Structure 1
Amino acid sequence: MIKILKNLSVYKWMVLLVCGLVFIQTMSDLFLPTLMADIIDKGVVTGDTQYIWKIGIIMLLVSAIGAAAAIFASYYSAKSAMGLGRDLRRKVFNHVERFSLQEFNEVGTSSLITRTTNDITQIQQVVIMMLRMVISAPIMLIGGIIMAVSKDAKLSLILIVTMPVLIGSILIIFYKGMPLFQLVQKRLDRLNLVLRENLTGIRVIRAFNREDQEKVRLKDANKELTDVSIKVNKVIAFMMPIMMLVMNLTVAAIIWFGSIRIDNGAMQVGDLMAFIQYVMQIMFALIMASMMFVMIPRAAVSAKRINEVLEMEPSFSDEGTQKADIEKGTLEFDHVSFSYPGAEEPALSDICFKAGPGEITAIIGGTGSGKSTLAHLIPRFYEVSSGRIRLNGVDIRSASQEEIRGKVGFVPQKAVLFTGTIADNIRFGKQDAAEAEIKHAARIAQAEDFILKMKDGYQSEIEQGGSNVSGGQKQRLAIARALVRKPDIYIFDDSFSALDYKTDAKLRAALKEETKDAAVLIVAQRVSTVMDADQIIVLDNGQMVGMGTHQELLATNEVYREIVASQLSEEEIA
């Protein structure tokens, strides 16, 4: 929690101002009972109306000063807390942007969303309370005790009995609440995960009639969160009744013993009323402290979760700043091996090949053979376990990640579109792309026809997740996004799977001229997509089991022949 609060140093002057305002507010609250005692003892009892008016006006001024201080303290405490939340969200987001896919897989997308939203909100709420109460509660507690003792020291002995009861209650609640708050955040993560999977996978759920099962799954996650939240609130619910019971019993005892002292002439009525007010302020100070003890554990859990993200270092970082442009449009895998963290066997073993400008290299193999993994290594989404990948003649670890990715046009297996216009989505590949470049890229990607049929053409809006376009249209827009970049290497990770054979053939024909100065890597399942490649690499269980042209592999490679035989007829093979 302290690490998170260090971020408040940016707002140190605002925090100091809040502390000053809270001090003024607290002192005015402590001064009012004394003025009230004077009105009763020197004005009401003696019938001095002029004195009542005089002290009454002073009380109004003190109250006005306290109220003004409270308003400005609330404003500036909220402003600094919201500023802290904004800074933390930006800090977490910027840090997460540096993560490799390994860290994303480790933490989980749903957990990262919860930490960036719910956890930071918890911290904001606590900071607002802390800025108000951390100053006022101790001052009110100590000041109240001093003022109460000054009014009647003997009557103050009642506090020696009641205060330990209140403090003990607070500590017990703190002890019981801390583990429950940790559990609440974990259950919230779980609920977020289930909700996210249900909303993003709604088509699959409906296609397989799994609505009832998913309702049960959500119900269970929701019930788990509800149950632990109820436990937390049960613990908190004990606090206020205990506080009020002790407070009311204390006031009753003060009135009882105070009336005896007034009857004996040892105390005045005004002093008794002021004493009661100071005791109430002491009790409220303890209640404020107890509220802090309830909020701080939950915020401490949230702070710990945020610190976990901020302290998590990417599994790899930039090691150099060499420019990746020695041999433009070349890609080389030099004995590359890769293993996922915790995996028993490597996903890729001893991969060696080279691709030059204008050459099309195709990767084919069965499911789980490592095709997509190979494609993900080139933009350095993961770090190779051994060997070297050279892009434009430079080891990708010797250049910055920004430099390497700036040379790559990547079309993922699952096409991802963003909310905005079609033009915005294509321009995502090159921010300063002119309208002519966008249209040219769309034409090459065979997307122009369906774009022009849409109501607003290139200005047509894409809904969240691209839900208003088909799978094939998504793929073509993703391909156009890569084409507009004019990179040195194109990576098509099974990017033609949703296209019909006619569109697939037209697209590949158009790509030949467009990519003549760049290396092209095509990961595909369909033999028809890779038949015309300059070299085809056959993967099996993460190992290269063949490399050559379609005809060469047909003649020499058993694995490739099996793949071809499973997809093409004998006439097509011939």
Structure 2
Amino acid sequence: MKVLFQHLKKYRFETVLSTIFVAIMVISQLWQPKLLQQVLDAIMDDDMDQISSIGIILIVVAVIGLIAGILNTVISAKVAQGVGADIRESTFRKVQTFSFSNIERFSTGNLVVRQTNDITQVQNLVMMSLQSLTRIPIMFIGSFILAMVTLPELWWVIIVLVVLVVLIVMITFSAMGRHFAKIQHFLDRVNAIAKENLAGMRVVKSFVQEDNEIERFTKTSDKLTHHTIIVGTLFSVMIPAFMLVSNLAVVVSIYFVGDMVKDNPELIGAIASFMNYLMQIMMAIIIGGMMMMFASRAFISLGRIGEVLDTEPDITYDPDAKEEDLAGSVEFRDVSFRYENDDQDALSHISFEAQPGEMVGIVGATGAGKSTMAQLIPRLYDPTDGEILIGGKNLKQLNKKTLRESVALVLQRALLFSGTISDNLRHGKKDASEADMDKTTSIAQAKEFIEKQDKIYEAAVAERGTNFSGGQKQRLSISRGVIGDPKILILDDSTSALDARSEKLVKEALNKELNHTTTFIIAQKISSVIHADKILVLDAGRLVGVGSHKELVQTSEVYREIYETQKGKDVEA
């Protein structure tokens, strides 16, 4: 609840105003049955002047209640939407501070549901609370007292009605409560499966897995449907049960008042007023019960949002660290790293040093730890043991902006954001000019296809860059990586989708234009790193060789095996 109260503080005035309008509306509803009773009494006395004057008051009171109700709804909606937007922004900001480990702990689909469906549940709770939280106690207590005053002889009917309705609410809502958490869980799973399927549609179709994916989705969807139907069934039983109890209360009241009216005809007006108050008592309990039902689901959502907001990022930066201009040297000192929940180290006791301007190749079999090493340099993960230094400074002591401006990482899986080409390039440098774009796209061999676009750098980029080929996306990603002129550039197999000629041109341009930049090239192919100043050979998370190509062919069995497997001699020739 602290998440909700924290964001409601911003809307104190609107909340108070909404509460006042609710109070006015409820007082209007409570006053109307009394006025109606007076009208009926005046009709019995054939007093037309009294009927007219009370009738006008009744209309005025009803109009005031209507206006108060409308204003309350408008203000409640404004507050609910505002609180929802604020929580959504806070959650999104928090997620941006997460490390890869934090995100993997929640999963992408889970975080999406928490920022959409869960926040919608909280919005509904705020809206309903501002409309009903004040209304329920005033309506219940007021109707209860006025019903007792109107026909004190039937006090026991009111008590029985309240007890029965409360019992129905407790039984149905206790049964519903345990299903809401399961509904949110299976909603997460449905979202995750749908997201995976849409993102991997080419794989699904190429392996003819449509039926299997449909079956997997249907199983989870059926479980979600099962729990949703249970909640819906309980809800559909609850409302008729309320109506049955209230109608029985009315019938019982009329039965016992029948004999009383013979002796005292003036009770005709009282019985009408009494019935109205009975209905209002029942409505107060029903609204309260419905609020409890929605609240129980919203509290689960609040808890899930709270988990995100209360999660401390695994990686934090020293707030007192100053921005500085770093040299491009990189040093690993006895670095080990283990992923969360893994039994073995992904990297074990890695030590090496790269000087500014050097080109360093990293090779090894699949799963050797190449990409893990690459992700440690820009501090996407922190090492389990040991330390990493850039420009002679420990990564943990660096200012975040300094680190981000010094290190650029280009991943194998090129990810573009929807927008324009210039928008994507400016991720690497916020104030990049067209001249900067021309230079970097020339280096990445992307300029040739960009200039064919109608709007050149303002050409549209579809979601995930689906309107570009794999090679084009990789070239745009390389352009984005080098546009900020980083001191350290990491290419994680980021030319894998390029043809041999384009890959050669990219590397020649990098050597010529970025000769002051320390470049790490992670590659599966020896030919991609054969001319590197230094090559690191990884095997099962261990550094088993360091040196130039000629040195490693002579000294490293692992490197020589990879080289011979790829017929490296022919490539070199």
CA 323–541 in structure 1, closer or farther in 2 if over 3 Å, else same: farther
Counterpart secondary structure, 1:496: coil
Per-residue deviation at 1:405?
Answer: 1.6
The residue aligned with 2:17 is 17
1:326-350 residue CA offsets vs partner (Å, 9 max, x unmatched):
6512111111111111211111111
Counterpart AA for 1:28: S
CA distance in 2, matches of 1:208, 1:517: 46
Matched, 1:547 2:526: no
5 Å-filtered alignment, 1:423-434, equals 423-434=422-433
The corresponding residue for 1:475 is: 474
Contact 2:26–2:135 (CA<8 Å) still a contact in 1?
A: yes
Secondary structure of the residue aligned to 2:412 is coil
Residue 267 (structure 1) shift: 5.0
Name the counterpart of 2:126: 127
Q: How many residues align?
A: 573
Tell me: CA distance 1:438–1:465, structure 2 relative to 1, closer, same or farther (3 Å): same
Superposition map of 1:22-171 within 5 A? 22-41=22-41, 43-171=42-170
Given that 1:451 and 1:458 are in contact with CA atoms closer than 8 Å, whether structure 2 keeps it comes out as yes
Deviations 1:173-215 (A, max 9, x none): 2211111000000000000010000000001111111111111
Q: Is the 8 A contact 2:110 2:188 kept in 1?
A: yes
Contact 2:165 2:242 in 1 (8 A): yes
Change (3 A) 1:470 1:322: same
- Contact 1:258/1:267 (8 A) holds in 2: no
Letter in 1 for 2:15: V
Q: Where does the alignment leave 5 or more consecutive residues of structure 2 unmatched?
A: none
The answer to whether the Cα contact below 8 Å between 1:184 and 1:229 also exists between their aligned partners in 2 is yes
Offset, 1:571: 3.7
In the alignment, the residues of structure 2 paired with residue 572 and residue 331 of structure 1 have an alpha-carbon distance, to the nearest angstrom, of 30
Q: Once the 2 structures are TM-superposed, how far is the Cα of residue 321 of structure 1 from its aligned partner?
A: 4.0
* 12-21 or 403-412, larger mean C-alpha shift: 403-412
TM-score (ref. length: structure 1): 0.98
Q: CA deviation at 1:129?
A: 0.8
Maintained 8 Å contact 1:152/1:267: no
Contact 1:100 1:314 in 2 (8 A): yes
**CA-CA distance at 1:320 after TM superposition:** 5.5
**Does structure 1 residue 280 correspond to structure 2 residue 274?**
no
Q: Structure 1: how far apart are the matches of 2:546 and 2:504? A: 23
Provide the residue aligned with 1:259 in structure 2. 258
Per the alignment, residue 513 of structure 1 pairs with: 512
Amino acid across the alignment from 1:33? P
DSSP-derived class of the 1:468 partner: coil
Contact kept, 8 Å, 1:493 with 1:523, in 2: the verdict is yes
Name the CA distance, whole Å, in 1 between partners of 2:348 and 2:488.
23
- 3-state SS of 2:116 partner: helix
- Mapped to 2, the partners of 1:61 and 1:566 lie a distance apart of 92
Q: Is the 8 A contact 1:330 1:518 kept in 2?
A: no
User: Secondary structure of the equivalent of 1:353?
Assistant: strand
2-structure distance, mates of 1:260, 1:365: 97
1:230 deviates by: 0.5
Q: Residues of 1 paired with 2:375 and 2:304: CA distance?
A: 29
**Per-residue Cα deviation, 1:298-351 (whole angstroms, up to 9, x for no partner):** 111111111111111112311364457565121111111111112111111111
The aligned residue for residue 190 of structure 2 is: 191
- Distance in 1 of aligned mates of 2:483 and 2:35: 77
Residue 572 of structure 1: how far off its partner (Å): 3.7
- Cα separation, 1, equivalents of 2:495 and 2:404: 22
**CA 1:64–1:563: 2 relative to 1, 3 Å:** same
Deviations along 1:380-412, one digit per CA (max 9) or x if unpaired, are 111111111111221010013332122111101
Q: 5+ unaligned residues in a row in structure 1: which ranges?
A: none
Match of 1:332 in 2: 331
1:288 maps to amino acid: I
Deviation at 1:454, TM superposition (A): 2.4
**Percent identity for Structure 1 against Structure 2:** 39
Kept in 1: contact 2:527–2:572 (CA 8 A): no
The 1:327–1:59 alpha-carbon spacing in structure 2 relative to 1, beyond 3 Å, is closer
Alignment of 1:400-439 (within 5 A): 400-439=399-438
Provide closer, same or farther for how the CA distance between residues 162 and 322 of structure 1 changes in structure 2, counting only shifts above 3 A.
closer
TM-score after normalising by structure 2: 0.98
Matches of 1:97 and 1:422, distance apart in 2: 23
**Partner Cα separation in structure 2 for residue 323 and residue 481 of structure 1:** 26
Query: What are the Cα deviations for residues 17-41 of structure 1, in whole angstroms up to 9, with x where unaligned?
Result: 1111100000010001111111110
Report what 2:375 is aligned to: 376
Question: Is contact 1:320–1:398 with CA below 8 Å preserved after alignment?
Answer: no
Q: Is the 8 A contact 1:333 1:390 kept in 2?
A: yes
> Distance in 1 between the 2:401 and 2:253 partners?
72
C-alpha distance in 2 between matches for 1:325 and 1:163: 71
The equivalences for 1:525-540 within 5 A come to 525-540=524-539
Provide the secondary structure at the position in 1 that maps to 2:27: helix
Q: Equivalents in 1 of 2:321, 2:46: separation in Å?
A: 91
Q: Provide the C-alpha distance between the structure 1 equivalents of 2:27 and 2:146, rounded to a whole number of angstroms.
A: 11
Aligned to 1:488: 487
Task: Please tell me whether residue 204 in structure 1 is matched to residue 198 in structure 2.
Answer: no
Output the CA distance in 2 between the equivalents of 1:299 and 1:282: 25
Distance 1:572 1:50 in 2: 110
Larger mean Cα displacement after TM superposition, 461-470 or 155-164? 155-164
Q: Secondary structure at the match of 2:398?
A: coil
Superposed structure 1 runs of 4+ greater than 4 Å apart: 323-327
Q: C-alpha distance in 2, partners of 1:230/1:573?
A: 67
**1:26 corresponds to which letter in structure 2?**
V
Residue 368 of structure 1 aligns with an amino acid whose one-letter code is: G
- Find the counterpart in structure 1 of residue 300 from structure 2: 301
After TM superposition, give the deviation of residue 569 of structure 1 in Å.
Answer: 5.5
Task: Return the offset for 1:266.
Answer: 7.5
- Larger deviation: 403-412 or 32-41? 403-412
What is the one-letter code of the residue matched to 2:47?
Answer: D
Q: Secondary structure at the match of 2:397?
A: coil
Paired residues of 1:437 and 1:484 also in contact (CA < 8 A) = yes
With over 3 angstroms needed to count, the CA separation of the structure-2 counterparts of 1:331 and 1:570, relative to structure 1, is closer
Amino acid at match of 1:274: S
Residues 15 and 80 of structure 1 are in contact (CA less than 8 Å); yes or no, is this contact kept in structure 2?
Answer: yes
Mean Cα displacement is larger for which, 320-329 or 351-360? Answer: 320-329
